[in-house]
Amino acid sequence: MRHLLVIIVVTGLVLPVPVCDPSVQFAPVPSDTAHDSEQVYGTDLSYDVYQQIDLDSYRDYIIKLTENGSRWTEFSDSVTFSDANVYARNWIIKTLDEVSQGRIETEILGDHKSVVGILPGWASDDAPVFMVGGHYDSAPGAPGANDDGTGVAAALELARVMSQYSWPLDIYFCFWNSEEIGLLGSREVAGILNDRHLDVLHYFNVDMLLVDDPDGDPDEQVLSVYNNYAPFHESKYYSYLLKALSNNIGINIVDPTPSSRFFGWQRSDHYSFVQEGYSQVSFLFESGFERDDSYHQPTDVWNNPLYNYTVATEAVKCIGASMAFVMAYAPSQLTHMDYEESLEPGQTRAYYIPISAPTNMTVYSNWTGGGLDFSLRSPSNLLIDEAQFSGSNMDSVEALGGSAESLALYKVVVSNPSSTPVVYDISVRYDVDLNGDDILDSKQYWFDPIMFSLDLDGDDLSDGLEKLIGTSRTDSDSDGDAMPDGWEYFHGLDPLTDDALEDPDNDTVLNLFEFGNSTDPQCSDTDQDALPDDWEIEHGLDPLTNDTAEDPDNDGFTNLEEYELDQDPNSPDMTTTTATSSTTEIGMPWGMVVMVAGMAAVVILVGILLLRRRNL
C-alpha cells in the first residue's frame, strides 16, 4: 500500500496552482552607473555606515599624516609650502584614489592648493551636495595630530566607507590648506565653488576632536556647533541629527551648541563658507579644549596620552550615519528610524527624533518576552501620547501617535515593566522638509518637484520618476522593445532592457504578448480562476475574467472541466449520454467519471503488479 499511496499523491499534483500576490509593489530603482558599488535609493544605511567607520583606520591616517612633522605654509607675495605640506597633499590625493578604487575625482584648487575629492552621486547634476573636511596644514613646529589631523582623517575614513556605495548626492571630501595663517585656502575655494553655483546641502567641518572633558556630562563630549543665524533646516537640524544618531545607535556623546555661545566660531574653515554666503554649516570640536595643552605645540602627536580616539571616531561615525540617513529618503515614502534592541526588567530606552517640519509621528513595534510601555514626549519633555501593553508577543502594533509642531528633538521612550527580558523592534515614521521649501520630502526628490506632476511622453511615468530610474522623458519606450516604459516598470520588468521575449512567470506567454493581452507578466494566472493565461489565450477565453463556470460550446463541460480534461472549451465534446443528461446525479460530467475510473483502474493494476512482485 505504500507504493499505491505514492502514486495517488503524485497523480493529484498534475494540475499547476499559480500563485500571484496582487499586493506586491515594485519600488523605483535608480538607473545603473558605471560602477559596481551598491546604489542607494529609499534605503537607510546609517547603521551600516556607522558600523564600518573604524577607529584603527582613523588613527592610522593620523599617524601617516604626521610622520614628517609640521606641515606649515607661509604667504607674502606668493605661497611657500613646507616639504611635509607638499608630501601630505600628494598622499591625500593618492589615498582618496586608493580607498575609492578610482571613484573619487580629485582637483587642487586655488593658489594655496587645497584638495577637493568628489564622489559623484547619481541623482542629478543640479542636486545639492554634502561636504565634509578639515585642514591639512599645521602650525609651525607642530605635527598637528589633533589640529587638524582629526579633520583630514575624518574625511579620508568617510571617503573609504562612503565610496563603497553609489549615493544620490555628490559628496565633497575637502582638505584645506593655509588654515593656520588665516583660513586662506578654504576662503579661496569657497569663492570658487560659489562661482560654480554649487548648491551645498550641508558642510560638516571637523577641526580638533581628540581631547574630551572627563568632568563634563558624558553626552556632551563632542560639540556640534551649529549656525544659529541660519534657518533650522540648514544647520541646527544636522546638529540635532548627529545627537539623535549618536544616542540611537552610538554612545551618545554629541552636544548641539549654538554658534553664538562658542568662542571659536570664526576660527575654522567653515567660517570661510559662511562669509561666502553658505550658512548651511556645522563645526565639530572637542569638549576638552581648556585642558588641551598641546594646541600648536610639538606635543601634538598621535600618541599623546591625552587623546581619546574613541570619542573622535564616534563623531566621524555620526557624520557618516547622518549623510546616509538623509540620502535614504524617497518620494511617497515617510522618513523612518528603525531600531532593534532588548530590555531587561525595569530598564528604559529613549530614542531622539529630529523634526524639521510640522508632521504627524507614528510609532510601530513588535516584541516578544513580556509587556512594554511606550511614551512620546515633546522637546520640553511634555507627554504627547502613551500606551501600555501587557501582551508578551505582539506583532506590528501601532504603539503611539501624535503631532510634532516644533522644529526640535522629540523623544520616544520604551520601558519594560515586566519581570522578563523583552526583545523588540521599533519604527518611528514621520515626514521631513530638508530644504525648507514647505514641501514635505515625501512629495519631492533632489530636483524640481514639478517634474513629478509632468509626463511628457505619456507613458504613465512622471518625468521625476523617469529621471530617477533613467528612462527617457520624451520616448515612451526607452528600450525599443514595443512595451511602454510605464507598463514595464509597474509590472516589475526592466524598461531599459529589451525583455520582450522573456517569460518571468513561465506561462509560455512572452512579455510582449502579456502586454498585448493586458495580462500580468509576473503571474501565470492573471484573473486567479485556476485557468492559466496561456491556456485561456490559446482557446479564446478571457484571461482577465473569472470564467471557470462558463460553457461557451454548450457541451455540458465548464471551462475548468475542459481544462482539467485537456479538451477544447469551444468545441463540443463527445459524451456517453444525451445532451440533456451529460452529468451524473451528483453533478459530475460523465467524461470526468470515465477519466477518474480509468485512473483508478491504472492505480489498481499497478498495485496488483507490485503485490505479485512482492510475493515472488
Q: Are residues 66 and 95 in the same domain?
A: yes
Distance from C-alpha of 296 to C-alpha of 478, rounded to nearest angstrom: 60
Copy the grid coordinates of residue 94.
593618492
- List all residues 6 or more positions away from 94 whose beta carbon is below 8 Å from its beta carbon: none
Q: CA angle at residue 507 from 588 to 481, to 5 degrees?
A: 150
Residues 121-141, mean pLDDT to the nearest whole number: 92
- Final residue in a domain of this structure, among 412, 430, 448: 430
Could you tell me the residue range of the domain that residue 67 belongs to? 43-326
Q: Are residues 177 and 55 in the same domain?
A: yes
Report if residue 475 sits inside a domain: no
Report if residue 499 sits inside a domain: no
Terminal Cα-to-Cα distance of the chain (whole angstroms): 17
The pLDDT value recorded for residue 573 is 74
Instruction: Decide if pLDDT at 589 tops 80.
Output: no
Q: Are residues 213 and 103 in the same domain?
A: yes
Report if residue 38 sits inside a domain: no
258-287 tens-digit pLDDT? 999 999 999 999 999 999 999 999 999 999
Q: How far is CA 353 from CA 383, 428, 431, in A?
A: 15, 8, 11
The pLDDT value recorded for residue 439 is 83
Q: Are residues 179 and 91 in the same domain?
A: yes
The pLDDT value recorded for residue 21 is 52
155-165 tens-digit pLDDT? 999 999 999 99
Q: Are residues 202 and 104 in the same domain?
A: yes
The pLDDT value recorded for residue 38 is 62
Distance from C-alpha of 200 to C-alpha of 194, rounded to nearest angstrom: 10
CATH of the domain at 363: 2.60.120.380
Report if residue 509 sits inside a domain: no
Q: What is the mean pLDDT of the chain?
A: 88
Q: Are residues 114 and 166 in the same domain?
A: yes
- Final residue in a domain of this structure, among 430, 454, 470: 430
Residues 524-542, mean pLDDT to the nearest whole number: 93
Q: Are residues 72 and 178 in the same domain?
A: yes
* Residue 551: burial class (beta carbons within 10 Å; 0-12, 13-18, 19+): middle
Task: Choose the weakest-confidence range: 216-230, 548-562, 576-590.
Answer: 576-590
Report if residue 36 sits inside a domain: no
Helical H segments across 114-181, by residue range: 149-162
Helical H segments across 393-532, by residue range: 463-469, 485-490, 511-517
CA nearest neighbour of 261 among 233, 224, 216? 224
Q: Are residues 48 and 15 in the same domain?
A: no
Q: Are residues 211 and 271 in the same domain?
A: yes
Distance from C-alpha of 310 to C-alpha of 65, rounded to nearest angstrom: 19
55-80 tens-digit pLDDT? 999 999 999 999 999 999 999 999 99
- Final residue in a domain of this structure, among 430, 446, 468: 430
CB 138 within 8 A of CB 71: yes
Distance from C-alpha of 346 to C-alpha of 417, rounded to nearest angstrom: 5
The pLDDT value recorded for residue 449 is 64
Q: Are residues 290 and 142 in the same domain?
A: yes
The pLDDT value recorded for residue 441 is 85
447-470 tens-digit pLDDT? 666 677 788 899 998 887 887 777
Q: Are residues 90 and 182 in the same domain?
A: yes
Report if residue 446 sits inside a domain: no
Q: With residue 364 as reference, give the H or E element that holds it.
A: strand 359-368
CATH of the domain at 215: 3.40.630.10
Respond yes or no on whether the N-terminal peptide bond of residue 481 is cis (omega within 30° of 0): no
Report if residue 348 sits inside a domain: yes
Q: Are residues 7 and 69 in the same domain?
A: no
Helical H segments across 73-166, by residue range: 83-99, 149-162
How many structural domains is the chain composed of? Answer: 3
Distance from C-alpha of 319 to C-alpha of 245, rounded to nearest angstrom: 9
Report if residue 444 sits inside a domain: no
Instruction: Decide if pLDDT at 381 tops 90.
Output: yes
